[in-house]
Each structure stands twice: as structure tokens, then as C-alpha cells.
Structure 1
Amino acid sequence: MNHRRVIPKIYARLLAAHGPQHWWPGETPFEIMVGAVLTQNTAWVNVERAIANLKRGDALSPEAIVAVHPRRLAAWLKPSGYFNVKAKRLRAFCRWLIAQGGLEPLARRPTGELRRALLAVHGIGPETADDILLYAFGRPVFVIDAYTRRIFRRLGLVAGTEDYETLRALFEEALGPETPVYNEYHGLIVRHGKDVCRTVPRCGDCCLAMQCRRVG
């Protein structure tokens, strides 16, 4: 199958069906980064509640998160689930961010170097690192998540067992280095995976149904 031809066509169909998603929610690059750490293994609505708690506590900054007592931080993050683990990960990320001199020095680093640095931080895996690179730093890095694997496996475009880097390279090769498209495409995949191509899919509402193989 010609992935370079099909993957852009699927993007066009999703965009026509769902409209622009303006993803990722966040008022600042740092808020986007916090959301990327907290969204692991939970729904976005729970992340929003946790971020709202940080805002009410006047703690939505790296310095405040590092300074606050760990138990208080964990309590603020409780809506996001796995809150003790996420509190440790968020503190580790904020310590790293402060040690690097903040966002401006990081923004000057080449994408590959910055990605390697993010992956070296405790609790930051490929998906979280790429969320941060794409949405906080505006880098052309395609994010692969569980929705991507589900949708494109059902379409017969991937096996679903490929490693993260293989799938990322597949999408980036098909789309070219287009940061706005990566941004919107990932948002559309999230929307479609949550609302239509669920674990139990709503095939009658699917704009991709004509070419879907419904594998699993």
C-alpha cells in the first residue's frame, strides 16, 4: 500500500468530518508540558482538573512545583490518576527544566538533541517527549499514541505491533516535515479515537468506514 498517498488522504477525511481541533489545550508552553506529563494513562478531562488545582494553588510554574511539599503536589494531581507517580515525574521534569535554564535555551537546541535530552528525564517516554516537542516547541515530530495504533490497524495500514519509532518514521515520511499538519492530525486522531473508533467502534458514524477492514 502507498502510505505516502493514503495517510494524507485520511487526514483530509478526518479534517472534513471533525473540523480543526486546535490541539493541544494550554495557555503557555509550560502548561502544555505539564499536560503532556499528566495525560499518561488518563482522560484529558482529568488532566484539566489537575491543572486547575495547580492554578488555584498558584503553582503552575517549575519553581513552584519543585518548592511545594510532595504530598501537597500529589493531592493537586489526584484527579489525573497515579498521582504519586506523576508528582515524582513532574518534579523531576521541573528540576530538569530549571537546570537547563528554562524554555529559551532549550528552544535553541536542534530537534534531535532536544528529543534525546527529554527522553533522558525520569518518566518521559517517546510519546510524552514528542507531545512536548510538537506542541510546546513547534517541532515537526509526529506523535504516536494508542488511538493511532487502533485506527490505522483497523484500516489495515499498520500491524499495530510496530515499535514507536517505526510508526513515527512512517507518518513523518508520508507527510513531510509539516508541523501544523502534525499538530492537527494528532488532534483529529484523538477526536476520532475517542468519539468514533472506540474499543467498540461506532462504524456507522465513521468517515473512514468505506476503507476500514475492522481488524480487531
Structure 2
Amino acid sequence: MRSLKARLEELFEKLFAHYGAQNWWPADSPFEVMLGAVLTQNTAWTNVEKAIHNLKSLSELNPQALITMPRESLAQAIRPSGYYNLKAERVQNLCGLLLDNPALHRLDDPQLREQLLGVTGIGPETADDILLYAFHRPVFVIDAYTRRLLGRIGWVDGYVPYEALRQTIEQALVGEASYYNEFHALIVIHAKSVCCKQPRCNACHLSGLCNYAADSRP
């Protein structure tokens, strides 16, 4: 069997050839990326866009403005994202970290990740979204889309803990942040449009790689 590195590189090439550059993350500033990473927990991105639009109509989008905003006002503004009271608290927790640590960007990757994970409401996936898309650090985000695609292809057998899977991919596919950024974005668009919960295998250009597609053929 070919190495995981070779297989991942082929997957990237096929996705990129089909979809092209995705230019992620859709945001006007690194702070907006961080905000979106918190708000997108357990909701669709369209709902996050509505929440961010509401916030922009109320105030400047920066940590100082949001941490001083009354919690109730913040919660109502981000209501479209769901779990709005909980997320308002998480947003202000994140703002507190940023304001208390103006030199956060100077930390190395493990230290920065540890600081983010120390914020109540920020787990590994959200922390890695922020590391990759806001701080441009080379981390591979493991989300539901990544698990679904790699699981169906047959490269992930059963449940693999977040850290184990992230480290396996990063060790196999050492790359710059821009490469991980593009790869993750391509996985997301493919998992949303083709490799959905109810997969559209007949429309998939990856069927030659995929165990699930092979098993589904008559």
C-alpha cells in the first residue's frame, strides 16, 4: 500500500483540480476569523454570517468593543448562531485572553494552542481553526467533514481521538499553513456538496479512491 503521505497528496491534487483555490477564511480581519470559529460551533456558516452582520451593525468588531458590550446585547446580536447565551460568554472569554495577552502572536505553536485551550468554550477544533486561519500556524484541522471524508475513503478506521488523528496527518503531510488551509477548505466544500451525510457518490470525482463508493456499487 502507498504511504499515507502519497495518498493525502493525491487527494489534495484531485480536490484542487476540481474545485480550485478556496481563499479561506472568509473574514475581514484575524479577530473576525476567531469570532467566526467560536460562533460556528454546532451551526451552519450562514447563521454565523447573520450573527457577524448583526455585530457589525452595532459596534466595531474588536475585542475591546465586544468585552464591554452588555452580555445580553451580545447574546441577542449573535442569536442566529444558536446557543447564543453560551456563545456570548465564550466570545467574551476569548476577548479577555486577547486583551490580557497582547503578545499572544509571539508564542510558539504549542504555547499558543495551550493558551487558546485554556479559554472556557474553546476545544481542540476551535483552537486549531484559530491557529490555522487567524494566526497562520501549520496545524491540520480535524472536523466532522475531515472525519467523514477520510473515513469513507477508508483511511480512518472507526473513531480516532482528535489529537491522534491530527498528529498522524501532520506527520505524514508536513506542510506550510497555506497548504493546510487550502486542503482543509477543499475537504469542507467537498463534504458539504458531495460527500454529505447522504453521499452523492454518483457525482463524486474521488470514487476511484473511495472504499465507500466501491462498496456501494451494484
Name the counterpart of 2:91. Answer: 90
| Structure 2 counterpart of 1:154, from 152, 163, 167 | 152
Shift of 1:177: 3.1
Name the counterpart of 2:78. Answer: 77
Name the counterpart of 2:178. Answer: 180
Higher relative contact order (CA 8 A, sep 6+): 1
Q: Does 1:21 align with 2:13?
A: no
Contact 1:8–1:174 under 8 Å retained in 2: no
Residues in 2 aligned to 1:109 and 1:178: alpha-carbon distance in whole angstroms: 17
Contact 1:150–1:160 under 8 Å retained in 2: no
Contact 1:155–1:212 under 8 Å retained in 2: yes
Shift of 1:180: 1.1
Name the counterpart of 1:10. Answer: 11
TM-score (norm 2): 0.95
Shift of 1:4: 1.2
| Structure 1 counterpart of 2:143, from 139, 142, 145 | 145
Residues in 1 aligned to 2:158 and 2:114: alpha-carbon distance in whole angstroms: 25
> Which 4+ stretches in 1 moved above 2 angstroms?
none
| Structure 1 segments unaligned to the other structure (5+ residues) | none
Q: Helix, strand or coil for the counterpart of 1:211?
A: coil
Residues in 2 aligned to 1:96 and 1:114: alpha-carbon distance in whole angstroms: 11
Shift of 1:39: 0.7
TM-score (norm 1): 0.95
Shift of 1:83: 0.7
Name the counterpart of 1:61. Answer: 62
Residues in 2 aligned to 1:73 and 1:147: alpha-carbon distance in whole angstroms: 29
Shift of 1:174: 2.0
| Structure 2 segments unaligned to the other structure (5+ residues) | none
Q: Deviations over 1:91-124 (max 9, x none)?
A: 11111111112xxx11111111110111011101
Contact 1:34–1:90 under 8 Å retained in 2: yes
Q: Helix, strand or coil for the counterpart of 1:5?
A: helix
Contact 1:149–1:160 under 8 Å retained in 2: no
Name the counterpart of 1:37. Answer: 38
Name the counterpart of 2:112. Answer: 114
Number of matched pairs: 213
Q: Deviations over 1:23-65 (max 9, x none)?
A: 1111100000000111111111111110111100014111111
Residues in 1 aligned to 2:158 and 2:134: alpha-carbon distance in whole angstroms: 27
Q: 1:75 to 1:138 in 2, by over 3 A?
A: same
Q: 1:160 to 1:49 in 2, by over 3 A?
A: farther
